[in-house]
Amino acid sequence: MPEESRPSNSQSMLELVPDFLYQSRREFVERLAFKLWAKRGFPLGSPDVDWFAAEQAVYTSLVTSGMIAPSDQQNIQRAIYR
C-alpha cells in the first residue's frame, strides 16, 4: 500500500463489523472496548477510557453510515442504544 493512502495516525483503523447479524449494539460496544483494552496492553484501572472510546467509534460509524442522525455529545448513549 503506498504511503499516501495509509491513515495518518499512528493507530491502525478499527474494523467495526458485528460478529453476527443480530448482535446488540451494547454487546458490540462491549467487544470493541475489550479489543481497545487489549490493544493498550490490558492496563489496570480506567476501564471507562476504552468504553467511551468504543462508544464514540460506534456512534461515529452509525452517523457516517446514515443509520442514526447526529446528536450532541451528551446524547451519544441514547442514540447508540435505542
Name the percent of the chain lying above pLDDT 70: 70
- Give the cell for residue 67: 443509520
State the pLDDT confidence band at 39, using cuts at 50, 70 and 90: very high
Q: Is the pLDDT of residue 38 over 50?
A: yes
- Closest by CA to 13, choosing from 27, 32, 31, is 32
What is the Cα–Cα distance from 38 to 82, expressed in whole angstroms? 27
State the pLDDT confidence band at 17, using cuts at 50, 70 and 90: low
pLDDT at 77: 81
Domain boundaries, the chain: 19-81
pLDDT at 53: 95
